[in-house]
Amino acid sequence: MRGKEFKRLKSMLGVVLLATFLVCTMVIPTAVTAERGTVPELSEFTITHEDLSEGDVINYDWYTPNGEELWFWIEDEGGNDYEYKVVSGSSGSFEVKSNGDWYVKWSNPENTNDVELEYDVSVESSQDGDTSDVIGDLIIIVVAICVIGGIGLYYIINDYKKQKELDELKESQQTQPQSQQQPQQYQQTQQQSPTQSQQPPPPPVQGSSTQQTQQQEGKPCPDCDRPMRFVQQYDRWYCDNCEKYQ
Ligand SMILES: [Zn+2]
C-alpha cells in the first residue's frame, strides 16, 4: 500500500472512530439498564436528583419482581408529594415544578419483609433537549459517517485503480527489453523486430493465422534430415522435428 493511500485510510479510520465514540457517549446514558434496590421492611428507599431546574423531567419505570405493593411518590425539598400511588409497578414522566433537589421515593409500610425493586429512573434536562433531539443527532451522525465513509471509499478505490494502471504500465515498460528471455511474453512482443541477441528466438507458432512469419519448406535439417521451415521474422531455419533453429 502506498504512503498517500495509507495516510488517507488512517485519517478515515480516525473519523470513523471519533464518530463511533460520539455515538456511544450519546447512546449509553439513554440506554441505562434497570437497577436493583431493596425497600426495607417498614422503611423507605430514595433516589435523589440534586439541583434540578424547573421544567426538567424525571422519567421512572419500576416494578417489584415478587409483585408486592409499595407506596411510590416524587417529593420536592419542601416535602410536597406528587405522583403518589400504591402499586407493584409504575412508569411515567414527571415535570419538575421548581428548582432544587428532588426525590423519587418508595415506602414499604404494608409488608413485613424487605421488598426487592427493579427501577430505571433518569432525568431529562430541559436545557439539553429531549430524546427526540438525541435521536435526531444520532441520525445526523450516522448519515455523516455514511457520507464520509462513502466519499473516502470512492477516493481510495479510484486511487487504487489509477495506481494499479500506472504500475502495470511501468511494469510492461520495464519488462519489454527482457522479453526475449521470457517465453510468456513472446505472444505480446511478437510484432517487435528481433534484436541481435545471441539467444535463439522462440519457436514459431504453427498454424497461427495472426503469425507474421512466412514459411518456406525445403532445406533438410542437418540433424534429422527432415525438411525445415524458413522463419522470415527471425531469418532462420526451424526444424519442427528437433524443435530448434538450425
Ligand atoms: Zn531436425
DSSP string, 123-146: EE-SSS--HHHHHHHHHHHHHHHH
pLDDT of 8 reads 77
Distance of CA 220 from the midpoint of ligand 1 (Å): 8
Q: Is the pLDDT of residue 42 over 60?
A: yes
Q: How far is the CA of 223 from the centre of ligand 1 (A)?
A: 5
Query: How many C-beta atoms surround the C-beta of residue 91 within 10 A?
Result: 11
Higher pLDDT residue, 145 or 1? 145
Q: For the segment 52-69, what is each residue's pLDDT rounded down to a tens digit?
A: 999 999 999 999 999 999
- 9 C-beta neighbours (distance < 10 Å), count: 14
Chain centroid, CA 23 distance in Å: 15
Question: Residue 161 and residue 60: Cα distance in Å, rounded?
Answer: 56
Q: Which residues contact 15 (CB under 8 A, 6 or more apart)?
A: 145, 148, 152
Report every protein residue that has its C-beta within 5 angstroms of ion ligand 1: 221, 223-224, 239, 241-242
Cα 242 to ligand 1 centre (Å):
4
pLDDT category at 195 given cuts 50, 70, 90 is very low
Compute the distance from residue 149 Cα to the ligand 1 centre, in Å: 66
CA of 240 relative to ligand 1 center, distance in Å: 7
Phi/psi of residue 168, each to 5°?
A: -60, -40
Rg from Cα positions in the chain: 42
Tell me what the mean pLDDT of segment 99-126 comes to. Answer: 92
Distance 171 CA to ligand 1 centre (A): 38
Q: Quote the CA–CA distance of 113 and 172 in Å, as a whole number.
A: 87
Distance, CA of 226 to CA of 84 (rounded, Å):
115
Mean pLDDT of 186-197: 43
Going from the Cα of 246 to the center of ligand 1, the distance in angstroms, rounded, reads 8
What pLDDT shows up at residue 104? 96
Ligand 1 center from residue 189 Cα (angstroms): 27
137-168 confidence digits (pLDDT tens) = 888 899 999 999 999 899 999 988 988 888 88
Asked if the model's pLDDT at residue 78 lies above 70, the reply is yes
Stated pTM of the model: 0.43
Residue 64's CB is within 10 A of a number of other CB atoms, namely: 20
